[in-house]
């Protein structure tokens, strides 16, 4: 279904980008903007900026930017129509056809969500009411889960039998093909059959409480013991965390999030009041997990089992935390216990004490190295250093690096400069890589110096003071030397002309709509960056500055043409041997170059 442009414009006018972004990023008000940690790259100092007035976002760290549609497309991996439909639903705009038929990629995604929610209700009601689910209810009671947790997390039961869920979908009029795409049923030779059978079911919701997939715990001897939904347009195991919807507010308030591996560990933590807890679906932490959690907490506390596998999982996460520049701690619990066991034996108070004593993950790593290379021999110290150095050198904060150089020196009873030399040696391969020439980034391109200053000022003034736009500005923009600024200028002019045609000759260009109409990434990046910057240079005497800049651009364009013509005549005079003309033209050319140089300095 094609979405009419007037509907897109209506959605754009109705939505507030700050509300959309705030679902994923902790934002703080800073002047006219809101700032936070970028969800698209690792950073410790916020450079991600959202402008409420202009309805755009821009990151000064990675040059990613756009409007509410763009943000949702990048964050949720949606197509443009999917993002529009998602926001339309949020702001209460109906995009359905008169006959309510649903088609197309975006609506298929919506249908998958509907199928997942229907499956959630089916499993949950079956657990609560069916006599056949009594063994599952007994197991859940044995594990210590209270009814309010079962209901709060919509825990359910997938009955035995080949096609109970498939038949339920047929009765409800839900497409079996859609249910298959969502990973709820499988296709046999003749018909469809249920993927999950005789399993306790854990619906996995995203931050908006939309069910993206399921985890199922076998009640019998079925393998595997835990079965998750397959990868689908809604579900990617390495990116999803269980309990994020329930934990997001508590994690934000407390400043840290507890990460466990299993469903029952997570549920017991919430039952005992640790509401800032999430789980990784039994898989190792990934960079995607960490980036997702960054939006809700400043620090991650890993709470894995106390066995060797749990310790290995904590250590495996260290390079990810360093790469993502995320503070992290390891909660160490007694050997032989998992978080569920500990809570049932020592209660919330006991767990709180272990959380309070959580060690920074790098300190935990160094403790493990002390055990691994126990001894005062030179070889053990060298081995310790060789394993620790790559992690220290990867740290992005210089002060943190210095702290760990000192710590390692204290542990090994050697001078800090000996540690530092090993760290530097580990850094050499990295620095060699950094010397490889690379294509300039958009950020570098749009930060180039004086040669484009006049062109930039013209666009900034017209954006801030649209009433100053006239034909001389149009002519100057067409003479811009910089291609992406010329394209940006044309976009601005077209937007202002539309405003004038609509009877609003003083209205500012709608940047949120403007960037959707641009196919030039450099032009788009410049518009976004400029729009969230506070630039005092265009606040005083904008009319005079605009006139001066237009004059400068036009003069530079004229000089360029005249210089090109002179060069052509010089070549002709040299070829013909007319030395008098050659000397005269040379003097004119040198004079033209001096004028051009002075012009660029002014």
**According to the model, what pLDDT value does residue 93 have?**
86
The class that CATH gives domain 105-228 is alpha beta
Q: What is the pLDDT of residues 523-579, one digit of tens each?
A: 888 888 887 876 666 667 888 888 888 988 888 888 777 777 777 776 776 677 766
Mean pLDDT of all residues in 403-416: 94
Of 192, 208, 217, the closest CA to residue 240 belongs to 208
Q: What is the pLDDT of residues 85-129, one digit of tens each?
A: 889 988 888 886 544 444 455 578 889 999 999 999 999 999 999
* The CATH classification of domain 5-91, taken from the options 3.30.450.20, 3.90.1150.10, 3.90.580.10, 3.40.50.12160: 3.90.580.10
**According to the model, what pLDDT value does residue 434 have?**
38
Whether the per-residue pLDDT at 449 is higher than 50: the answer is no
* Weakest mean pLDDT among 59-68, 101-110, 175-184, 402-411: 101-110
Q: What is the pLDDT of residues 132-188, one digit of tens each?
A: 999 999 999 999 999 999 999 999 999 999 999 999 999 999 999 999 999 999 999
pLDDT confidence band for 433 (50 / 70 / 90): very low
Q: Any idea where the domains of the chain sit in the sequence?
A: 5-91, 105-228, 244-359, 373-428, 451-588
Whether the per-residue pLDDT at 79 is higher than 80: the answer is yes
Q: What is the pLDDT of residues 301-350, one digit of tens each?
A: 999 888 888 888 889 999 999 988 899 999 999 988 999 999 999 999 99
What does pLDDT average to over the chain? 86
What is the rounded distance in angstroms from the CA atom of residue 530 to the CA atom of residue 71? 18
Q: Considering Cα of 343, then 347, then 350, then 351, what sign does the dihedral take?
A: positive
**According to the model, what pLDDT value does residue 186 have?**
97
What is the rounded distance in angstroms from the CA atom of residue 564 to the CA atom of residue 289? 57
Q: Considering Cα of 399, then 400, then 405, then 408, what sign does the dihedral take?
A: positive
DSSP string of 30-53?
Answer: ETTEEEE--SSS--SS--EEEETT
pLDDT confidence band for 590 (50 / 70 / 90): low
pLDDT confidence band for 451 (50 / 70 / 90): very low
Q: What is the pLDDT of residues 39-57, one digit of tens each?
A: 998 888 899 999 988 899 9
**According to the model, what pLDDT value does residue 364 have?**
95
pLDDT confidence band for 438 (50 / 70 / 90): very low
CA 167 from chain center: how many Å?
A: 39
Do 5-91 and 105-228 have matching folds?
no
Q: Is 218 exposed, middle or buried (0-12, 13-18, 19+ CB in 10 A)?
A: middle
Mean pLDDT of all residues in 499-524: 76
pLDDT confidence band for 591 (50 / 70 / 90): low
Whether the per-residue pLDDT at 74 is higher than 70: the answer is yes
pLDDT confidence band for 442 (50 / 70 / 90): very low
Q: Is 434 exposed, middle or buried (0-12, 13-18, 19+ CB in 10 A)?
A: exposed
Are 518 and 510 spatial neighbours (Cβ–Cβ below 8 Å)? Answer: no
514 vs 125 pLDDT, higher one: 125
Mean pLDDT of all residues in 193-214: 95
pLDDT confidence band for 354 (50 / 70 / 90): very high
- Its CATH architecture, for the domain 244-359, is 3-Layer(aba) Sandwich (3.40)
Q: What is the pLDDT of residues 217-248, one digit of tens each?
A: 999 788 899 999 999 999 999 899 999 999 99
pLDDT confidence band for 432 (50 / 70 / 90): very low
* Weakest mean pLDDT among 277-281, 422-426, 500-504, 587-591: 587-591
Kind and range of the H or E run holding 570: helix 542-576
Whole-model pTM: value is 0.68
For residue 63, what are the CA distances in angstroms to 55, 83, 397, 444? 17, 21, 21, 10
């Amino acid at each position: 279904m094609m979405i009419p442009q007037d509907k897109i414009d209506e959605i754009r006018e109705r939505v507030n980008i700050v509300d959309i972004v705030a679902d994923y990023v902790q934002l703080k008000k800073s002047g006219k903007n809101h700032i936070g940690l970028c969800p698209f790259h690792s950073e410790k100092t916020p450079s991600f900026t959202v402008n409420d007035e202009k309805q755009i976002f821009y990151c000064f760290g990675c040059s990613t930017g756009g409007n509410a549609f763009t943000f949702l497309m990048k964050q949720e991996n949606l197509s443009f129509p999917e993002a529009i439909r998602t926001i339309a639903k949020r702001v209460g705009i109906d995009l359905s056809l008169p006959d309510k038929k649903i088609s197309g990629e975006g609506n298929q995604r919506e249908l998958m969500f509907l199928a997942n929610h229907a499956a959630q209700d089916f499993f949950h009601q079956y657990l609560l009411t069916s006599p056949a689910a009594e063994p599952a209810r007994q197991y859940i009671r044995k594990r210590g889960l209270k009814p309010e947790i079962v209901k709060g997390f919509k825990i359910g039961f997938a009955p035995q039998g080949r096609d109970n869920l498939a038949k339920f979908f047929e009765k409800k009029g839900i497409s079996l093909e859609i249910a298959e795409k969502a990973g709820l049923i499988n296709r046999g030779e003749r018909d469809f059959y249920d993927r999950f059978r005789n399993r306790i079911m854990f619906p996995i919701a995203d931050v908006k409480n939309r069910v993206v997939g399921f985890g199922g715990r076998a009640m019998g001897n079925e393998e595997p013991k835990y079965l998750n939904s397959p990868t689908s347009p809604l579900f990617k195991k390495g990116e999803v965390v269980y309990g994020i919807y329930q934990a997001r507010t508590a994690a934000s308030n407390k400043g840290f999030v507890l990460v466990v591996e299993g469903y029952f560990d997570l549920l017991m933590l919430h039952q005992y009041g640790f509401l800032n807890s999430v789980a990784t679906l039994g898989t190792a932490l990934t960079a995607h997990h960490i980036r997702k959690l960054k939006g809700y907490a400043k620090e991650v506390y890993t709470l894995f089992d106390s066995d060797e596998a749990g310790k290995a999982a904590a250590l495996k996460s260290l390079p990810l935390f360093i790469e993502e520049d995320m503070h992290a701690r390891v909660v160490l619990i007694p050997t032989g216990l998992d978080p569920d066991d500990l809570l049932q034996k020592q209660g919330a108070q006991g767990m709180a004490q272990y959380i309070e004593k959580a060690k920074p993950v790098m300190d935990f790593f160094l403790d493990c190295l002390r055990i691994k290379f126990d001894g005062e021999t030179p070889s053990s110290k060298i081995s310790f250093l060789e394993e620790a150095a790559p992690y220290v050198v990867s740290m992005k904060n210089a002060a943190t690096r210095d702290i760990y150089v000192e710590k390692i020196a204290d542990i090994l009873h050697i001078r800090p400069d000996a540690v530092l030399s090993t760290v530097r040696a580990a850094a050499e391969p990295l620095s060699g890589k950094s010397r490889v020439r690379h294509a300039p980034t958009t950020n570098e391109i749009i930060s180039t110096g004086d040669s484009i200053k006049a062109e930039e000022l013209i666009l900034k003034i017209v954006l801030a003071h649209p009433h100053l736009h006239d034909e001389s500005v149009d002519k100057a923009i067409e003479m811009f030397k910089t291609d992406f600024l010329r394209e940006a200028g044309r976009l601005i002019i077209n937007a202002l002309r539309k405003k004038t045609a609509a009877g609003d000759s003083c209205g500012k260009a709608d940047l949120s709509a403007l960037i959707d109409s641009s196919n030039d990434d450099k032009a788009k990046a410049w518009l976004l960056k400029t729009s969230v910057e506070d630039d005092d240079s265009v606040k005083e005497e904008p009319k005079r500055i605009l006139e001066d800049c237009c004059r400068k651009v036009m003069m530079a364009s004229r000089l360029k043409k005249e210089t090109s013509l002179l060069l052509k005549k010089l070549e002709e005079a040299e070829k013909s041997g007319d030395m008098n003309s050659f000397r005269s033209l040379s003097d004119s050319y040198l004079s033209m170059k001096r004028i051009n140089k002075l012009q660029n300095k002014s």
